[in-house]
Structure formats: C-alpha cells, structure tokens
Structure 1
Amino acid sequence: MNNAPDFQTCQQRLMRVSAYIHDHLDEELDFARLAEIACLSPWHWHRIYRGVHGETIAATVRRLRLHRAAGELVNSDAPVEAIAKRAGSSGVPAFTRLFKATYGITPAAYRRAGRHTMFDQPVPERNHDMYDVTLRDMEERRLAGLPHRGSYMEIDRAFGPAAGMMAAAGALGPQTEMIGVYYDDPGLTEEKDLNAFAGLTLADGADVPQGLETRLVSGGRYAVLTHKGPYAELHKAYHWFYGSWLPAAGHEPADAPPCEIYRNDPRDTPPAELITEICVPLKA
C-alpha cells in the first residue's frame, strides 16, 4: 500500500511551513526545523517547496520582509534605518537598492508618495517540458570515487581523477557506471559549500583502488527521470520533477540524497545527446 502524501496533503504541509515563516520572520530560519514542520525528507523538501511555490525559502523571506517594510514606510514614522534592519538588510544603502529593484522607487520616495503598493506573491513559473519518469527497484551500489565541493557543474574535477585511478587499477569494466551523489540543495546552500561525490561502481568483492574513497548508494524503490541534453539544463528537470511530477504522483522521497547516473561519456558525446538518469529514492 502506498501511504505517501497526495497533492493536497503536500500542499497542507507546505502551508504549515509558510505559516511558520510568517510567525518567525525576524529570525534566522532553521532549515532542518522547516523540514520537520513539512514532515518531508531534509534531502528533498526544499526542492518540493520551490517547485510548488515558484521561489526559494530565501526569496519568500526576502519578499515578505520587503512587503512588511513597505507597509511600515507608509503606516509608521519608524526611521528608514530601523526598517532596513528589520528587513534583514546590512544598512540603508543595501535596503534602498533592493527596495528600488523590487518596487521601482526608493524607500524615501515610496514614503513620500504615501501609498502601499501590494507586493503580490509570484505565480510559480511552470516548466512545460515533460520528462519520462519510471519507478524502478534498484540494487545497492558500491562506489569508489572522490568527494567534490563547489559548483555541481564542476564535478568533473573529481570524476576525471577518479576514473583515471580506477583505470590504472584495472577496475573499469563494461558494466561500470558513473554516478554523482548530490548531498546539498543548490537552492539552500551557497555554491562554494555544495557537497557531492563523484563515484564509479565497483564489482562485488573488488578492492577500492588506492587514493579513492567509497560510498554506498542504497537499494530500493526509485523514481528515475531520464534527461536528454546538456548537463547545464538538468536544473529544469529537477524543478519539473519536484514541482509537478512528485506532488501529482503521490510519492514521498526517502531520507537519502538523489543521485545521477550518466549513461554516456561527455568526452565523445555531443551535449544534446547526453543521457542522464536522475534517481530520487522513494519511501516504501
């Protein structure tokens, strides 16, 4: 029996998150706490939030703080410095730049005008691309490879050396798979702090080549999205998966990170022909 939340339940959970944000707008938000409130996996909840709401948590907080600041500008005599601080800005200049970029005029001009333009919640951008998603029972995979920290688009910095060490050890074979495990959500984590693992599958009983680390990709039921095209466009597939397919399908992600299986070699494959399988573990 599938006890995963349906779309309405998912929406209700995200509404609890939104209510919590409103009630704690002056605090630094604890993303682990928000995952608990959403009753969703910390590996995946923010991707679902972004897909459904069309903006990141950080964008939501920024939007709500600016909306409040706009009201304070015309409905109170509070100094702009105090309003800027409450909005989370480092000072009046930074607040002025952000406010003008959003409202089209400076805070001082907005206050003089004496009007409170409604800052509407954005309509989520819908990615109209469709992708093939299948449910697959996958076996546990043992990987040998290297950790990567930084932009996910630069994970080849780790894949290249890892593949070279595997080849030197005679550990590459026709069944070897290249798999990237992605531990952090780019919507929550600064690019320089993103953590991933560039791994290649090891045969049963094979030793880990010297200089490489090992990781396990757990077995079980996965939702597998097949993407064809440049790696730079994978984010569109993630957005569609978490914002459209997953809520509608009624499945819930397991408490483990997603991974990507690369089915061809970017060294001899045109970008438009690259095949990537995005694998998201599901709760039983």
Structure 2
Amino acid sequence: MKNSKLIYTKRIDRVTDYIRSNLDQSPSLDDLAKVAFLSPFHFHRVFTAITGETINAFTNRQRLEKAARRLKFSDQTATEIALSCGFTSSSTFSRSFKKYFEVSPTEYRKTGKIENSKICKDFHPVNEYVLEMSDEELSRKFPVEIKRFPERRVAFIRVVDAYADNRVLHAFDRLIDWAKANSCFDEGTVFGMSLDDPTVTPADKYRYEACITLPDSGNIDFTTEISEMRIPKMDYAVTRVSGDIKIVATATEYLFNKWLINSAFEPEHQPALEIFLDKENVCNWEHFELDLCIPVRPLRSI
C-alpha cells in the first residue's frame, strides 16, 4: 500500500506523544499498543522500525532531555526533577544523566553545557550562529511582550531528523499547497513548532512540526500525511525577529537564556512557536520575518 508507512508513522506518533505527556508514569506495552491500535505482539517491532529506537531507549532519552531542560530553566531540586521525569530516585537519575550526557546534573545546572560529551557531535551547532551582543543591545533589539493566544485548531506535518535534506522546507511546501487547495491558506497562520531542544536532542532524532491554523469548524479533507490537533489557550512570551539565521539564533538564545531566567515567568510544558509573518515566503530561509513565542506561566515559588 502506497501510504502504509505514513499510516504507521501517524500511529507511532500517537504513542510518542503519549509517552512524552506521561514521563512520570510507566505504561505497559499493552497500554502503548492500544494507543497505536496495534497488536501487543508486534507493537515493539513496529515502534522500533518507525523511530529507530526501542521503547525503553526512547522513553529514557525523553526523560533525560526533559530533566536537562528543567535543570536549566527551573529552580526545582534534582530530586524533584528526577521524580517528575519518571526516575525512581535522585541517585538513579544522576547515574543515568551522567552516563548519557557525560556530565553530572550538578555540573550541567552550573554551566548549561554538554560540550564534552561524545554524543555532542550529534547535536545541532546552534551556538555557531549566535552573534556577540551586550545584554543592553539584546533587550533593546528583542523586546518581549506577553500575549494570550486563543485555543486553535491546527493542521500539521511532523518531520523527524528535521533539518536533513531540507525536510522542513519540503514539509512547509506540501502543507501550504494542501492549505491553498482546501481554501485554508489566506486566513491561516503559518508556524513551526520544535518538539525537542536542539541543545540536548541528537540531530537525527530532532522533531519539528510544520503547522497552519484552521477554521474552528467545517469539514476539511485531510491527507494521510497531514494530521489535526488543537493547541490550548495559553500565554506566550513573544519577540519579533527580522533578519537572517544568525539574528534568529541570537534572538532564540536571548529569549531562553537571558530574558526567561530573569523574568517573572517559567515555561509551560508546550513547544515554542515560530510564527512566519511573511507566509508567502516561508521557504525563503535567507531572510526571516518571525514572531518567536515561548509558552509561559507565572513563576511559582517552591
């Protein structure tokens, strides 16, 4: 069947989304197979065939990457982070973290870097694009507003190993062609979502979703490749960016590493957004017109 792999991929996407949303739990193989509408006898082989990882390896990597983000962006203790990410104890978490990243949780929290790790070569070289600017220059160039976004109905294409072979660009091409054919493009907002942190996720595992908002109601002819979801109402920290990839990388670095940790907000457990303001030229990546958006909530004391 021509589209069989896409069908299997969408089923396994349901499972990876479920695992990511329930990292503090340990669902059984039968439970995960039900999410994918697959037989438990064959589910593990299908999962590995689609993702390139075993269920245990995928779950462990997601837990460690989530923990790394919390070490970097929250004031939670290592024990609190360990338990919230599904580890049975802080000692188990510390051993797993050190084994995977080759740096202890304490060292990572101090530096925010894993550059000595042997797997670091598989990460995106994001830092090479960041421009040298003072804090004053950054805050002046990238002012941040808090905006409330309503609940949205969204069509999307998920891409794995996202930046290999222009996969993201091709996904946006296909999504935009589909939206125009279904009369959704003119009123839709085109945006992208990074499901992983490029500073901790190996490049070949990095996932990105090319998205467009849809009318709240009405029947739309979805293809095998294009899925539908709803994004809940949420507050976002938003800064506008105009320029090349170095400007985008610098703004992203500032938003997460400078503005956020000095603000009265903490990140929600939802992906950041890149809203393409010039949606007719989404695939012109020599110059960007973007709103960079981090989902946030008021910072809580612990």
TM-score by length of 1: 0.57
Larger radius of gyration: 1
- Say if 2:292 is the partner of 1:278: yes
Alignment of 1:1-284 (within 5 A): 13=76, 24=95, 27-29=98-100, 53=111, 55-56=112-113, 58-59=114-115, 62=117, 127-128=133-134, 129=138, 130-152=141-163, 154-173=167-186, 175-211=187-223, 212-231=226-245, 233-265=247-279, 267=281, 274-284=288-298
Give the Å deviation of 1:206. 2.9
User: Mind listing any 5+ residue stretches in structure 2 that lack a counterpart?
Assistant: 1-71, 82-89, 120-130
User: Aligned to 1:155, what secondary structure does the other structure show?
Assistant: helix
Give 2:266's aligned amino acid.
E
User: Aligned to 2:236, what secondary structure does the other structure show?
Assistant: strand
C-alpha change, 1:195 and 1:264, in structure 2 (3 Å) is same
Give 1:188's aligned amino acid.
V
Q: In structure 2, what is the Cα distance between the partners aligned to 1:268 and 1:283?
A: 29
Give the Å deviation of 1:262. 0.5
Q: In structure 1, what is the Cα distance between the partners aligned to 2:194 and 2:220?
A: 21
Give 1:166's aligned amino acid.
A
Give the Å deviation of 1:215. 2.3
Once the two structures are aligned, what percentage of the paired residues are identical? Answer: 16
Contact kept, 8 Å, 1:165 with 1:209, in 2: the verdict is: no
Give the Å deviation of 1:278. 1.1
- 1:60-93 alpha-carbon deviations (Å, 9 max, x no partner): x54xxxxxxxxxxxxxxxxxxxxxxxxx79xxxx
TM-score by length of 2: 0.54
User: Aligned to 1:222, what secondary structure does the other structure show?
Assistant: strand
Give the Å deviation of 1:250. 2.4
Give the Å deviation of 1:273. 5.8
User: Aligned to 1:214, what secondary structure does the other structure show?
Assistant: strand
C-alpha change, 1:30 and 1:270, in structure 2 (3 Å) is closer
C-alpha change, 1:160 and 1:142, in structure 2 (3 Å) is same
Contact kept, 8 Å, 2:155 with 2:214, in 1: the verdict is: yes
Give the Å deviation of 1:235. 2.1
Q: In structure 2, what is the Cα distance between the partners aligned to 1:182 and 1:236?
A: 17
Contact kept, 8 Å, 1:149 with 1:192, in 2: the verdict is: yes
Give the Å deviation of 1:179. 1.2
Contact kept, 8 Å, 1:253 with 1:280, in 2: the verdict is: yes
Q: In structure 1, what is the Cα distance between the partners aligned to 2:227 and 2:213?
A: 12
Which residue does 2:56 correspond to in 1? none
